[in-house]
Amino acid sequence: RPGSLADANDAAQLSELMTLGELTKIAWQHDVQVMIEGPGHVPFDTVRMNIEMEKAICQNAPFYTLGPLTTDTAPGYDHITSAIGGVEIARYGTAMLCYVTPKEHLGLPNKDDVKQG
């Protein structure tokens, strides 16, 4: 998964998605449930493309994301940028959203950070 917007949609991310698609098929052949973890850092204008690729490559397996964070320039406000990305990816059918705290990339969250996330 991309660790920053600069890594988003690169060959490594797409290769991982192809591998997840293959592993999904194998798991389903053995009656194993699958949920695909999506990218955490995605430019806003590529959120739709990311979920559409996941659905196509992973045969509509449930997809969840940590956000996605749509900017790398807001340390301390990642809970807000991930909410923006979360709204966008929810529009296109993600199965589950994971919350992000303000401490993402800065440290370990406390109870209040989790509440804000």
Q: What CATH number did the domain enclosing 22 receive?
A: 3.20.20.540
What pTM was estimated for this model as a whole?
0.87
- DSSP string over the chain: --SSGGGTTSHHHHHHHHHHHHHHHHHHHTT----EE--SB--GGGHHHHHHHHHHHTTT--EEEETTB--SS-TT-HHHHHHHHHHHHHHTT-SEEE---TTTTTS---HHHHHH-
- Domains of the chain: total: 1
What range does the domain containing 51 cover? 5-116
List the pLDDT tens digit at each of the 117 positions of the chain: 888 999 999 999 999 999 999 999 999 999 999 999 998 899 999 999 999 999 999 999 999 998 899 999 999 999 999 999 999 999 999 999 999 999 988 999 999 999 998
